[in-house]
Chain A
Amino acid sequence: MRIVRFAVPATIAAATIAGCSSAQDPATPSGSATPPDTEVTVVTHDSFAVPDAVLAQFEGDTGITVTFVAPGDAGSLTNQLILTKDAPVGDVAYGVDNTFASRALAEGVFANYESAAPAAADATNYAIDGSTALTAIDYSDVCLNYDIAYFEDNGLAVPETFDDLLKPEYKGLLSVTNPATSSPGLAFLLATIAAKGNGWQDYWTQLEANDLRVTASWSDTYYTDFSAPNYGGDFPLVLSYASSPPFEVIDGEATTAVLLDTCFRQVEYAGVLAGAKHPQAAQEVIDWMLSDEFQAALPENMYVYPVSTSVDVPEDWATYAPLSENPWSVPASDIDANREAWLTEWTAVVNP
């Protein structure tokens, strides 16, 4: 009985929000074929966040009620979509990234949809070759970050390239994450594969010989290992994101920065699920994700860059988080074809 009672206020609150906003905007947009009061389920990963106001406006404008479910990280999300494709758990999925996209596409998880939203043209810059089933929504760069003060205090030049990291003066300074257990770790491995081609195993052997530290997850490398003033660990070079430095600004001074030649670009996609109960409404959700309101909210809520070029990123991002002009990339189909082989070889090299 108690369980039921606790569930009720949430339902009432949701109904009230939807009710209020539709009272203000009684008419659904003409041309939309979605019947009012359609309930759409968006399957996403555990980092998803959208401001209440942005969501309420969408629900008010369209009469669609959106429910979010989050089964885990991007990998768990993709696996769930594949394993449940015969009875999809929702109508739209958001958060499949370019390291998992090929697998989902090969399994026929998504239905084709080309959005006509203004930002759709920007999104096609990140499209996966030969498919219109996934729409790019945002991207982020996985890069090595460094502790500015450490290099100044020790009179040490900041390394720039992958090859620099092998030099003896940087011995024991680098902490990265395990590509088998962490998504930035996989991105970094892919960056080295893009840069070194067939010589990547050899590169990692040398990196390992230079006292590389490998942790299981981003938080271990960043919070525990990073020597930046906010954390006080032992490693001045750590794997994180291009968007991390703005969060380490103290009294207007940057304390960390990014090695722009070590970046791998991760792109996140949304798509209508094949077999969705409400495909029409699902398409409207994709359009909404490309709208200025949703795109502008991405940096502050999910720490990623919007694909749309017509919205501004926050001021401190422009100052402290410049993007790599030439990030490393590996075609999505290559990633999927070689994932297991690469991870097995990496494990053999780094953990003999």
Chain B
Amino acid sequence: MARRWVAARRHLAWAAVVAAPLVFLAVFFAWPLATVLARGLAGTGTGAAWEVLTSPGVPESIATTVVLAGLGTLGSVALGLPAAWALYRLRWRGQVAARAIVAVPFVLPTVVVAAAFGALFARHGLLGFAGLDQSVAAIVCALVFFNVSVVTRVVGSAWASLDPGAQLAARTLGASRSRAFRTVTLPAIAPALGAAAAVVLLFCSTSFGIVLVLGGTRVRTIETEIYLQVNQFLDLHAAAVLAVLQLVFVGAALALASWARRGRDRVANGRELDGSREARRGDRPWITATLATLGALIVLPGIALVERSLRVEGGGHSLANYAALVDPPARSVLPVTVAQAALNSVVTALIAAVIAAALTVAVSAATVRGPRWTRWIDAVAMGPLGVSAVVIGLGMLLTLNRNVAGVDLRTSWALVPLAQAIIALPLAVRILVPATRAIDPRLRAAAASLGASPWRAWRTIDARLLRGPVALAAGFAFAIAMGEFGATAFVARPDRPTLPLAIARLLSRPGAENVGMGFAAAVLLALVTAAVMLATERLRTRVRADV
């Protein structure tokens, strides 16, 4: 009897833990999605769905999506892996700044990145000779540009805390450097690598703006087809069929990632190791090669961006655009100064990061420690990443245009950080779940046998060991919220623009001063984000020192 009561209490406790993220995801993700699917698929059969999938352009767009996602992920991993080693496993002067720079592209608004890459690949541009304008290769470059930071950061964190002993032992026993890497290091960082690659694959397969802008009309994916069906033709049936297809694709990607990771979870023994070492003379060529490739990918578009932010009327250069950021905007392009918009962004992104981090802790705990029935919440939390932003936006328009529990969400400013938190949740979850899984269950068993309640055990073990990963997840959530455009555009009030909205607005008007201010604002966005990423970096190191 008592035992059954304990079991019931355990289930109740876990129900409470999953309730918050579940309600949140239900209201802001599942409900809008279900509404669109219900309206689009009502009364139609598989024949009609097959017709959509075989209509002109659709099979090609499916193939293009798979190819782009695959190449983008391969490229990000190929570049991110050596970058993780050079920036996290080794220690050298200036590496902190290099880490921050690598994180910046992740948050730049599409319109800005497209302008920077466009300038690079244009006929007169630095890389114009390559003839890559409006090609698949240009899009893959941009996808890698966006996503390499995810691989670098997530794999880097795992690599830095890896015990160098095993690898040294392998070397001592005569294994070559590459063999030691393959047999010792790679299996150890595999969970982190798998998690990062899965996220990047999803980002690449649902990337919308970058494909549209850099591909012109030449490259079409599932996502651009959905946009076309919704925005031009208002064909909800076709949009819903394609959205379901995308969900299947995402499910397959997630299943693949979890299969690749099976049985390889590293178990931490409670002490976080600092496995990084000083860079040696022999490392220099490798560091240089890695930095040069990263530099070409990140710094060249960055230079194009900064150049545009300094350009003023007639083609000269000055700091006038930066001075204009704090002035009330001329010609009423914006209702507030860009500085005010930046403040709006920082405040909403901080709230979004806190919400996302809190939900992520609950999701990770339920996924790893909860009873069997709570484990699928991990997959549910990945949903927002895998569903077309156009579909979610449409769903929000259909569902949130009324009072929900007494709050008029349509005009409520609170919707902005909530929407951003939803978008940030999947990546935060992918960072925290492996970290939670890596905590040795024996520590908890020991705590329990010493009489600690589950809550007490969580506080003294999980909460301590997870401080670093939670800071990392919150940092990424903040970065995503800072740069988020699609969902924010649907829910933000016109008189309270965030920085990306202000940039988009400035860049939709003619006139050198508007463009210049738009690009200066983009540089400001990059700087704020880099600063925050640096801060979480510091936090991580300090926390590790505590433990």
Q: Which residues of A contact B (CB under 8 A)?
A: 2-4, 6-7, 10, 41, 44, 46-49, 51-52, 67-72, 75-76, 79-80, 82-84, 87, 89, 103, 178, 180-181, 213-220, 222-225, 229-234, 240-241, 243-244, 247-248, 250-251, 300-301, 303, 339-340, 343-344, 347-348, 350-351
Contacts and interface: CB of A to CB of B under 8 A. Distances in A.
Contact of B397 (A80, A233, A243): A80
Contacts of A248: 510-512
Given A89-B401, A230-B511, 11 more contacts: A49-B335, A72-B489, A72-B490, A87-B401, A181-B224, A220-B114, A224-B119, A232-B124, A303-B510, A347-B217, A348-B56
A216 B510 contact: no
B411 to A, nearest CB: 6
- What's the dominant secondary structure at chain A's contact region? mixed
B227 interface: yes
Contacts of A87: 401-402
A149 to B, nearest CB: 11
Contacts of A213: 216
A181 B118 contact: no
B307 to A, nearest CB: 10
18 contacts: A46-B489, A71-B490, A72-B490, A79-B230, A178-B216, A214-B216, A214-B217, A223-B507, A224-B114, A224-B119, A225-B122, A230-B311, A230-B515, A232-B315, A234-B124, A241-B510, A250-B314, A303-B510
Given A80-B397, A250-B313, A215 B213 contact: yes
Contacts of B412: 7
Given A49-B333, A75-B232, A340-B233, A3 B417 contact: yes
B113 to A, nearest CB: 12
Given A3-B351, A219-B508, A178 B217 contact: yes
Contact of A84 (B234, B311, B401, B489): B401
Contacts of A51: 332
B508 A47 contact: yes
Interface string B424-445: 0000000000000000000000
Contacts of A220: 114-115, 118, 213, 216
B115 A223 contact: yes
Q: Would you call the interface of chain B mostly helix, strand, loop, or mixed?
A: helix
Interface in B55-70: 56-57
A6 B413 contact: yes
A232 B514 CA distance: 16
Contact of B512 (A46, A52, A230, A339): A230
Which of B124, B224, B509, B514 has the most A CB atoms < 10 Å from its CB?
Answer: B509
Interface string B495-520: 11000000001011111101100000
Nearest to A301: B332
A240 B398 contact: no
B509 A79 contact: no
A75 B397 CA distance: 13
Contacts of A2: 351
Contacts of A214: 216-217
Interface in B327-384: 331-333, 335, 347, 351
Contacts of A339: 232-233
A267 to B, nearest CB: 19
A230 B314 contact: yes
Interface string B118-132: 110011100000000
Q: Which 4 A-B pairs have the closest CB atoms?
A: A247-B511, A230-B512, A224-B118, A247-B510
Nearest to A302: B332
A233 B315 CA distance: 11
Nearest to A175: B216
A216 B397 contact: no
A46 B489 CA distance: 8
B446 to A, nearest CB: 38
A7 B114 CA distance: 34
Contact of A218 (B347, B351, B508): B508
Contacts of B511: 230, 247-248
B420 to A, nearest CB: 12
B219 to A, nearest CB: 9
Contacts of A216: 212-213, 215-217
B534 interface: no
A251 B118 CA distance: 29
Contacts of A67: 411
B258 interface: no
Contacts of B512: 230-231, 247-248
Contacts of A343: 228, 232
A241 B511 CA distance: 12
A71 B397 contact: yes
Contact of A79 (B57, B119, B234, B411): B234
Given A6-B413, A103-B234, A347 B213 contact: no
Interface string B151-190: 0000000000000000000000000000000000000000
Given A68-B494, A220-B213, A231 B397 contact: no
Nearest to A84: B401
B413 A84 contact: no
Given A48-B494, A71-B490, A83 B351 contact: no
B76 to A, nearest CB: 23
B315 A229 contact: yes
Contacts of B495: 68
A48 to B, nearest CB: 6
Given A71-B397, A220-B114, A340 B313 contact: no
B233 to A, nearest CB: 5
Contacts of B311: 230
Contact of A223 (B313, B413, B493, B515): B515
Contacts of B351: 2-3
B528 interface: no
A333 to B, nearest CB: 16
Interface string B212-238: 110111100000100110111110000
A240 B508 CA distance: 11
A73 to B, nearest CB: 8
Nearest to A224: B118
Nearest to A185: B217
Contacts of B111: 217, 219
Contacts of A84: 397-398, 401
A83 B397 contact: yes
A223 B111 CA distance: 11
B414 interface: yes
Contacts of B234: 79, 82-83, 103
Contacts of A7: 412-414
Contacts of A300: 331-332
B398 A83 contact: yes
Contacts of A231: 512, 515
A213 B217 CA distance: 9
B394 interface: yes
A107 to B, nearest CB: 9
Nearest to B494: A70
B410 interface: yes
A179 to B, nearest CB: 9
A7 B228 CA distance: 36
Contact of B410 (A44, A69, A72, A232): A69
Contacts of A223: 115, 507, 515
A49 B497 CA distance: 12
B302 to A, nearest CB: 16
A83 B413 CA distance: 23
Given A234-B124, A339-B233, A219 B507 contact: yes
Contact of A181 (B114, B227, B331, B507): B227
Given A71-B397, A178-B217, A216-B216, A234 B410 contact: no
A7 B408 CA distance: 13
A231 B393 CA distance: 33
